[in-house]
Structure 1
């Protein structure tokens, strides 16, 4: 859940207006009001595809998509920091890509996977804890964004987010079990075998 909460997309949503202004775009900062619509559309597409493709492929694809978007935004800011110019549509497209990837992957699919991995006796408490932890990590992410941006440069913050997304993609690919069509017992047995765990 740490990589879910610290992938940078929430920062883009909160600081969209200033990112748009800093990108040198003459595009209206009110463009960020389209992010909820993008999120709804992306989450709807993801939920319609989740049983066809599985949870891991969607998560890996979305984390990769967010990584590309964060790297793109960081590179655009770095180019502008050194006096270069970039077409205004590149950072805007990357921001939309990050928001869509977040809504389609970690924001929606992570909770599906968690609900499928735990039995009903502990599910409510664990889901409550996960939601609280995610909001805490979002707070930390927003709290440290300005100091990192001010001291190391705005581009550094986006490169850090890209690294978080690479880690999240690797975690989803290597460690996270595929829960599609499996019972809790089958998932538990898979984890026991994979990590040589005892009862």
Structure 2
């Protein structure tokens, strides 16, 4: 795997950056296009590195508020997308189906991983997240309805016995398409070069804390209010995540790193939530 050309420019190795860019670019691109891309990378890195490169800079400089806000929302969606509930119940499904379900689940996850990487740059980030969040919400809400009828109403679920397996299959298709994969891509795209290391570290730490909280309260909530409540909570988070994507996330498909940063810092992209200003000021 080649090093990032942005990193090579950051450490003042222009020749290596050019060679890597040629390797990563399409064979039909001419010398002028490569030079233009290299110049754009140089300008982007130079502008980013004019600012400080510390965690304090990331947390206090208004330039990074919008990126932090967006990525925090994406990380919450990533952790609370229902994977914890699905994984916990999947063992029961597999145990009751004599390994047939486990074969189905495994066969689905393998090609979906490749499909997600293909659609990422062909369909775009926002459309993928719309599809992924809505698909996950449908599967989780359906699972919740099944357990509500079975556990709370004590009704006959024989006529809808297909819902648990179908819901998990839908979730395993939809989650990798966006909810469980795109937050990692966006971390690399939205944080500027000077605070990327601090930003990724902070988001990873935040994700670990969120995962601990979800794991800690999953079983108590399930015991107190039923498994269907857990599924509905996660389904609701996915629906909110879809609205969050529509309202705040910029489309980064086909854009250079410099173009993404310019869009994040544009005056017309200010966001105010209560007393919190997410307006980036250059």
- Rounded to whole Å, the distance in 1 between the matches of 2:216 and 2:99 is 22
Please identify, of 64-73 and 111-120, the stretch whose mean Cα deviation from structure 2 is larger.
Answer: 111-120
Q: Name 1:163's counterpart in structure 2.
A: 236
Larger radius of gyration: 2
**2:148 pairs with one of 73, 78, 83:** 78
CA separation of 1:175/1:75 partners in 2, compared to 1, >3 Å: closer, same or farther?
A: same
**RMSD across aligned C-alpha pairs, in angstroms?**
2.3
Mapped contact 2:147–2:227 kept (Cα < 8 A) = yes
- Rounded to whole Å, the distance in 2 between the matches of 1:163 and 1:106 is 14
Query: After superposition, what is the alpha-carbon deviation per residue over 1:35-69, rounded to whole angstroms, capped at 9, x for unaligned?
Result: 45533322210111111110110011000000000
Query: After superposition, what is the alpha-carbon deviation per residue over 1:98-157, rounded to whole angstroms, capped at 9, x for unaligned?
Result: 122222212222211221112333223322332332233222212211111111111111
Write the mapping of 1:133-144 to structure 2, written as runs, cut at 5 A.
Answer: 133-144=206-217
CA separation of 1:36/1:141 partners in 2, compared to 1, >3 Å: closer, same or farther?
A: farther
Higher RCO (C-alpha under 8 Å, 6+ residues apart) = 1
CA separation of 1:122/1:39 partners in 2, compared to 1, >3 Å: closer, same or farther?
A: farther
**1:10 pairs with one of 62, 69, 84:** 84
Q: Name 2:31's counterpart in structure 1.
A: none
Gapped runs of 5+ residues in structure 1?
Answer: none
**1:122 pairs with one of 195, 209, 234:** 195
Q: What TM-score comes out, normalization by structure 2 length?
A: 0.63
How many angstroms does 1:34 deviate by?
A: 5.4
Q: What TM-score comes out, normalization by structure 1 length?
A: 0.86
Q: Name 1:148's counterpart in structure 2.
A: 221
Please identify, of 56-65 and 102-111, the stretch whose mean Cα deviation from structure 2 is larger.
Answer: 102-111
Q: Name 1:41's counterpart in structure 2.
A: 111
Mapped contact 2:85–2:230 kept (Cα < 8 A) = no
Equivalences, count: 195
1:111 aligns with 2:194: no
- Rounded to whole Å, the distance in 1 between the matches of 2:131 and 2:251 is 14
Mapped contact 1:69–1:95 kept (Cα < 8 A) = yes
Mapped contact 2:85–2:231 kept (Cα < 8 A) = no
Mapped contact 1:11–1:142 kept (Cα < 8 A) = no
Q: 1:7 is paired with a residue of what secondary structure?
A: coil
**1:55 pairs with one of 101, 108, 125:** 125
CA separation of 1:15/1:141 partners in 2, compared to 1, >3 Å: closer, same or farther?
A: farther
Q: 1:42 is paired with a residue of what secondary structure?
A: helix
